[in-house]
Amino acid sequence: MRHLALPILPALCVALAGLMAAPAPAVAQSGPLRIEITEGVIEPMPIAVPNFVPEGGEAGQLASQISRVVVDDLIGTGLFREIPPSAHIGSITSFASPVQYADWKAINADALITGAVSVQGGQVNVKFRLHDVFAGQEMGAGLQFTGTEAGWRRMAHKVADAVYSRITGEDPYFDSRAVFVAEDGPKDARRKRLAIMDYDGANAQFLTDSSSIVLAPRFSPTGDRVLYTSYETGRPQIYVLDVASVGRRVLDTGSGDMAFSPRFAPDGRTVIYSLTQGSNTDIYRMDLATGQSVRLTDAASIETAPSFSPDGSRIVFESDRSGTQQLYIMPATGGEAQRISFGEGRYGTPVWSPRGDLVAFTKQSKGRFHIGVMRTDGSGERLLTASFLDEGPSWSPNGRVIMFARETQGEQGASSLYTVDITGRNLKRVDTPSGASDPAWGPLQ
Amino acid sequence: MTYLAKAILLSATLGLGLAGCSSMSPNRFDNVTNLNGAGAGGAGTGTASDPASPAYFQQSVGDRVLFYVDQSTLNPEARLTLDQQARWLIANRDYQARIEGHADEQGTREYNLALGARRANAVKDYLVAQGVPDYRLSTISYGKERPIEICSEEACYAKNRRAVTVLQAGAGM
C-alpha cells in the first residue's frame, strides 16, 4: 500500500491543570453570568478579552495570537460580542494582580477573560481566568494548558471551550477537527483530495493526492481513523485511513460492484455501509476485526447513507422504496424499518445527532436544497438553510452546530463548507484554502 | 499480455483517437475531449469510416443514452441506440464494454452514486437481452462526479444524466 509523504501534526500533549488548590467547580455555573441557548433570538453577551499577558520576551506574538483565536471562537458562536480592545479603559498588565472590575463594568462587559502566555524550551504555557464582571468575581477556577509551540491554536481552543462551557452549560466543541474533500478545478474536471483541518479551517492538510476520486470521509468516534470512498482501484471501494500515519487499507466488502457511504458505529469496531450489486443498493454491517459482513436491508430499492444512533441500537438511513428518497429507522441488526420523513420533497443523508434527540438531513424540495433537523420520530421538522445546493450535514461534537457543503450554481459553481446553529441562526462560511465538500466533524480532542 | 495491460496500452492512445475523430461530427461529440475519466480508458483506434472501429461505434452507433430526472428506465430513443450498440458488439467480438452510469448535480452524492449504478445496469441488462454475452459487459457508476456539461440548467442536466458504453479491447475469452 502506498503511503503519502505528507506533513503530520506533531503529537500535541495538552496538559490540563487547575491554577488553584480549591476543588474543581461545577462546569455549569448558576448565577447571573449565563447564556441559555434557546430557539429564540439571543442578544450576544458582551465580553472583553484584553491581550493575554506575555510572560517573557518570546511570548509576545503568541500571546496576542492566542487571545485572537479565543475571541474568534467565542464570537463565532453568535452568542458573544467582543468589546474591542480600543474601547477598553482598564488594562491587564499582570496575570496575578487583582482585577479592577469597575474598569470593565464601565464598558458594559458582562464577562472578562484574562490570560498569560509563556514559552520555555519550545513548550507553551497558557493560563486564563474567566471573570463575572458584575458579580465582581471569578467564575470557576483558573486553568492552564501546556503544549508544543506548533499546537498553540489548540491551547487557544481549550481556553475558549472552557469559557463556552462555563457560560452556556453546554459541552464544548472548539478543540476539534473535521475531515473533508478538498476540491479544485472546474466542474467537469474537478480534482478531489481528502483533507483534514481544525474545526475553523486552520491547519488544513491533505491526506490523499488527487489521482482518484475520493468521497465522503467519516471520522471514527475517537478521531484516530477515517473511513472514505475512493475510486483508487477503478471502482468505488471503502478505505480506512489511520490519521497519524496516513496509512490506509481497503475494506474487503466481497462481491459487490461498489461499496460506499461508510460510517463507524459508536464503538468504533463496526462499520455500516452501502453495497451495490447490479442495480440494487443495500446496507451492510462489517465487523472490522473479523472482516465479516452482514446484510441489513434486502429491498430492490436504493438503501444508503446509514448512520447509527449514539447508543448504537438503531440506524437511520435513506431509501427510495416508497418511490422517492425518504428517511427510515431500523434496529442496528436490521429488520423492520419505520419511515420518519413525511414532508413534501426528497430527504437524504440522515445523520443522528450526538445527543440522540435529532436527525439532520438534506432535503430537496421545489428545486431548492435544505439542511434540516427533525426529531427521531419524524416530528418537529425544521429547515435551517436554503440554497441552490446544500448537502451532507455533520454534527459538532456537542450537537449544537451543523457543518455542511454548499455548491454554487452555474458554470463557475464551486463548493464551500458552512456551519449553522441548530436554531437556524449564525450561518457562516468555513475558511478553507480551496473548494471543499463532504465535511465530517470529528470528536473533541 | 494480460487484459489489463492491453487496456492500459490502448488507453494511452485514446487522446489521439478522439482528437482525430472529433471534427467529423462536431454537434454530437464536441464534448468528448472533456470526458475526464468518464469514458476515458476505453479503446480508441481506427476511423469512423471503418464500421468495425471504436470510432464508428462512438459516432455512428452512438455510445450513450440519456435518462429522465431520477429515472433509470430506457426511453424509446435510448432503446434504438442500444439496439445498434448490441448489433455492433455482437458483430465485433474483440471488444468488451464498460457501461458508465452518471447523474446530474441535482441530488445527494450517495443517492446519485446508486442511481448511476441503476442506469448503467439498465443498459447492461438491455444489451444482454439483445444477445450480448454478459461476461463482455461491466458497469461502473460515477454518480454526479463527472459531468460533461457544467451549466446548472436542464439543457446541461439532460446531457449529464447518461450511461456511456465505453469499448475496451480484449474480449477474446
Question: What is the ipTM score, two decimals?
Answer: 0.90
pLDDT level of residue A9 (50, 70, 90 thresholds): very low
Q: What is the Cα–Cα distance from B28 to A182, expressed in whole angstroms? A: 33
Instruction: For chain A, positions 368-407, list CB contacts with chain B under 8 A.
Output: 388-389, 391-392, 407
Interface contact B141, partner A, CB < 8 A: yes
- Mean residue pLDDT of chain B comes to 80
Is the pLDDT at A13 greater than 80? The verdict is no
pLDDT level of residue A41 (50, 70, 90 thresholds): low
Residue B40: which domain range? 3-169
- Give the predicted TM-score (pTM) of the model: 0.88
Interface contact B69, partner A, CB < 8 A: no
Per-residue pLDDT, averaged over A124-137, amounts to 96
Distance from CA of B129 to the nearest CA of A (A): 15
Tens of pLDDT along A52-80?
Answer: 999 987 888 999 999 999 999 999 999 99
Torsion angle of alpha carbons A30, A31, A34, A38, nearest 10°?
70
Inter-chain CB proximity B150 and A409 less than 8 Å = no
Inter-chain CB proximity A305 and B140 less than 8 Å = no
Q: List, in sequence order, the alpha helices (H) in A42-195.
A: 60-76, 101-105, 152-168
Tens of pLDDT along A81-117?
Answer: 999 999 999 999 999 999 999 999 999 999 999 999 9
Least CB–CB distance from B109: residue in A216, A278, A279: A216
Flag the least confident range among A192-201, A248-257, A379-388, B34-43: B34-43
Encode A200-234: b = buried (16+ Cβ within 10 Å), e = exposed. bbeebebbbebebbbbbbbbbbebebbbbbbbbee
Is the pLDDT at B1 greater than 50? The verdict is no
- Measured at the CA of A241, the angle between CA A239 and CA A245, to 5 degrees, comes to 150
Task: Please tell me the total count of domains within chain B.
Answer: 1
Tens of pLDDT along A361-377?
Answer: 999 999 999 999 999 99
A15-168 belongs to which homologous superfamily?
A: TolB, N-terminal domain (3.40.50.10070)
> What class is the A176-444 domain?
mainly beta
Task: Say what the pLDDT of residue B172 is.
Answer: 46
Is the pLDDT at A11 greater than 60? The verdict is no
Is the pLDDT at B18 greater than 50? The verdict is no
Is the pLDDT at B14 greater than 50? The verdict is no
Interface contact A413, partner B, CB < 8 A: yes
Residue B154 CA, distance from chain mean position: 21
Domain locations in chain A as residue ranges: 15-168, 176-444
Q: What is the Cα–Cα distance from A402 to A362, expressed in whole angstroms? A: 12
Q: Which of A181, A183, A184, A188 to mutate to test the interface with B (most CBs of B within 10 A)?
A: A188
Q: Which of A184, A187, A235 to mutate to test the interface with B (most CBs of B within 10 A)?
A: A187
Return the CATH number at B120. 3.30.1330.60
Interface contact B36, partner A, CB < 8 A: yes
Is the pLDDT at A350 greater than 70? The verdict is yes
Tens of pLDDT along B88-146?
Answer: 999 999 999 999 999 999 999 999 999 999 999 999 999 999 999 999 999 999 999 99
Least CB–CB distance from A278: residue in B105, B113, B121: B121
Q: What is the Cα–Cα distance from A315 to A337, expressed in whole angstroms? A: 9
Per-residue pLDDT, averaged over A320-342, amounts to 97
pLDDT level of residue A22 (50, 70, 90 thresholds): very low
Q: Which of B111, B121, B137, B140 to mutate to test the interface with A (most CBs of A within 10 A)?
A: B111
Task: Say what the pLDDT of residue B46 is.
Answer: 73
Residue written as cell 446519485? B112
